[in-house]
Amino acid sequence: MMYMKQLFFLSILVIAISCQSKVENDKSEHKQKPNIVIIYGDDLGYGDLGSYGATHVKTPAIDAMAEGGMKFTDAHCSAATCTPSRYALLTGSYGFRSRAEVLPGDAPLLINPEVGTLPSMLQNAGYTTGIVGKWHLGLGIGDIDWNEAIKPGPLEVGFDYSFIIPATGDRVPCVFVEGHHVVSLDKADPITVSYGEPIGMDPIGTEHPEMLKQQADRQHSETIVNGISRIGYMSGGNTARWKDEDFADVLTDKAVSFIDDNKEKPFFLFFSFHDIHVPRVPHERFKGTSGMGPRGDAIVQMDWCVGELKKALQERGLLENTLVIFTSDNGPVLDDGYEDQAVELLAEHNPNGPFRGGKYSAYESGTRVPTIVYRPGHVKPGVSSTLLNQVDLYASLASLVGEKLRPTDAPDSFDYLDSWLGKSNEGKTVMLEEAYTLALRDRDWKYILPAEKGFTTWVEDVKDIESGLSLEHQLYNLSEDIGEKVNLADQYPDKVAAMKAKIEAILENGTRPEWDRTQTTFDQ
């Protein structure tokens, strides 16, 4: 009898211990799946942050993340303009594979809803996913009606929640879209949009320069909304039109609400800033804070947004269980269409850091962008010069959350998780950069494919940018020539031929056959 009693208590004990360890397992599983936040600056240059050498403009919140996290000095976005970079980040496929280029504001959705995306992969791994901010990857299937349900869009390619600027701040329609609908739209005042003929009765920049907060070039001189003339014409939707000065507050509020609504389970937030893209019209409270005019003030405003986001995570006890990746979609530009004194008030500030080029450029500054990975207690603070590219975040984050990729998904994305987390120095040995031509990095060597004649389009109009386009082969050795000044192509014809052949192979065969991705995340 005594023996039976002991046995009974023993079994109770075993059950209790196993329940307890199940709870522990659940907890640790939750721990293994940290929240993920990608903070994406727009047009932010390598030299635009204090932690990357800026002295004139102050960026304390981002600098604190750089100090407490891993700061990368050779990490790249995939292209020197927004749309192909974002396409690569979200699909793990280079932009040129889908002919991605800067899209007009009425372009159809560029991402095929049938393909895997970074957010849909995370959904499969149990994450709730959200995008707040700039989209610029097209919406609908063409001939979009802004007064009805607008789809397909972010919700059809893996986001559970979306609150977006449809294209850019300088393109119509100047309204936010939440889910499938324009926010605060009065159906009695429907929106129409045209990227061709003028429409509606709204004043336009070319005819009413006296109404403008900032004068603009011809392309940015169409419908005036909130005292700023835009690319494209719009009419109607007056109750829905945004105020540029409120971008930072509106977007930060939405990002924090998303966190509040989803903090109980793992979430992924793509917090995609308007700053520091044109038009640079920061809120009144940031005016004059940088001494560099609107561009510098927009940097200060952007830093404030980062600080608010961090505070929100901290106050909710989420900081240690959230992997934050801060970076930019392309390099810097000063004059991008509006007279906002970005050039005149620059003083000693150098948005390119030590590099040549900028936004639109095939030189390093086109794609080498500030990149910080931050997770206190998990990512050891430090500086890494490992060569990385955002196209790999898809496979790397899949590896983080233990998700297998289908063979057709993310064809250009490789698992560099350990390098992103600062645990390894293994960098890409071959990395492509897209900038109206293609460039290739092979460790310290940089090769730029000759641009085809007539390919340069309007890039030549951007005065303060050296596009890097040439009809000649260009070869630079960055270990001796970080500023890409001495073209060594004639001296090293074999290297030129080999690097050109690699680009051609990537174009023709894709990335996978030659440089196999880590098989662990790959479902064969």
Q: Which residues contact 42 (CB under 8 A, 6 or more apart)?
A: 82, 134, 272, 273, 274, 275, 276, 277, 328, 329
CB of 303 closer than 8 Å to CB of 310: no
Q: Which residues contact 154 (CB under 8 A, 6 or more apart)?
A: 131, 135, 162, 164
Residue 361 interacts with ligand NG6 (CB under 6 A): yes or no: no
Exposed/middle/buried for 42, CB within 10 Å: 0-12, 13-18, 19+? buried
Q: What is the DSSP letter of 477?
A: E
Residue 387 interacts with Ca ion (CB under 5 A): yes or no: no
Binding partner at 484 among ligand NG6, Ca ion, none, C-beta below 5 to 8 Å by kind: none
CA distance 340 to 359: 17
CA distance 450 to 469: 7
- Least Å distance, CB 469 to ligand NG6, is 16
Q: Which is nearer to Ca ion, 363 or 522 (CB)?
A: 363
CB of 333 closer than 8 Å to CB of 462: yes
Residue 475 interacts with ligand NG6 (CB under 6 A): yes or no: no
Structural element, H or E, at residue 68: helix 60-68
**In the window 32-61, what residues touch Ca ion (CB under 5 A)?**
42-43
CA distance 445 to 447: 7
Q: Which is nearer to ligand NG6, 195 or 492 (CB)?
A: 195
The DSSP secondary structure of 423-474, one letter per residue, reads S-----SSEEEESSSEEEEETTEEEEPPPPTT--GGGGG-TT------SS-E
**In the window 320-339, what residues touch Ca ion (CB under 5 A)?**
329-330
The single residue among 128, 129, 168, 214 that binds ligand NG6, judged by CB under 6 A, is: 168
The single residue among 36, 82, 90, 475 that binds Ca ion, judged by CB under 5 A, is: 82
Strands 228-229 vs 224-225: parallel, antiparallel or unpaired: antiparallel
**In the window 334-353, what residues touch ligand NG6 (CB under 6 A)?**
336-337
- Least Å distance, CB 330 to Ca ion, is 5
Q: Which is nearer to ligand NG6, 461 or 472 (CB)?
A: 461
CB of 403 closer than 8 Å to CB of 385: no
Residue 397 interacts with Ca ion (CB under 5 A): yes or no: no
Q: Which residues contact 313 (CB under 8 A, 6 or more apart)?
A: 37, 259, 319, 322, 324
- Residue of minimal Cβ distance to ligand NG6: 82
Residue 43 interacts with ligand NG6 (CB under 6 A): yes or no: yes
- Least Å distance, CB 355 to ligand NG6, is 18
Q: At what angle do helices 247-262 and 293-315 cross, to 10 degrees?
A: 20
Q: Which is nearer to Ca ion, 329 or 335 (CB)?
A: 329
Binding partner at 121 among Ca ion, ligand NG6, none, C-beta below 5 to 8 Å by kind: none
Q: Which is nearer to ligand NG6, 436 or 476 (CB)?
A: 436
The single residue among 57, 89, 175, 231 that binds ligand NG6, judged by CB under 6 A, is: 231
Strands 371-374 vs 233-235: parallel, antiparallel or unpaired: unpaired
Binding mask 239-278 for ligand NG6 (x = CB under 6 A): --------------------------------------xx
- Least Å distance, CB 444 to ligand NG6, is 28
Q: Which is nearer to ligand NG6, 453 or 463 (CB)?
A: 463
The DSSP secondary structure of 162-202, one letter per residue, reads EEEESS-TTBS--B-EETTEETT--TTS--EEESSS--SS-
- Least Å distance, CB 280 to Ca ion, is 13
Binding partner at 101 among Ca ion, ligand NG6, none, C-beta below 5 to 8 Å by kind: none
Binding partner at 342 among Ca ion, ligand NG6, none, C-beta below 5 to 8 Å by kind: none
CB of 160 closer than 8 Å to CB of 132: no
* Residue that is written with structure tokens 């080999």 in the block: 498
- Least Å distance, CB 450 to ligand NG6, is 23
The single residue among 73, 98, 219, 518 that binds ligand NG6, judged by CB under 6 A, is: 219
Residue 170 interacts with ligand NG6 (CB under 6 A): yes or no: yes
Residue 102 interacts with ligand NG6 (CB under 6 A): yes or no: yes
Q: Which residues contact 442 (CB under 8 A, 6 or more apart)?
A: 429, 430, 431, 499, 502
Q: Which is nearer to ligand NG6, 96 or 445 (CB)?
A: 96
* Count of residues interacting with ligand NG6 (CB under 6 A): 16
Which range binds ligand NG6 by CB under 6 A, 13-21, 158-166, 330-338, 345-353?
A: 330-338
Which range binds ligand NG6 by CB under 6 A, 28-36, 153-161, 329-337, 389-397?
A: 329-337
Q: Which residues bind ligand NG6 (CB under 6 A)?
A: 42-43, 81-82, 102, 136, 168, 170, 219, 231, 277-278, 330, 336-337, 458
Q: Which residues bind Ca ion (CB under 5 A)?
A: 42-43, 82, 329-330
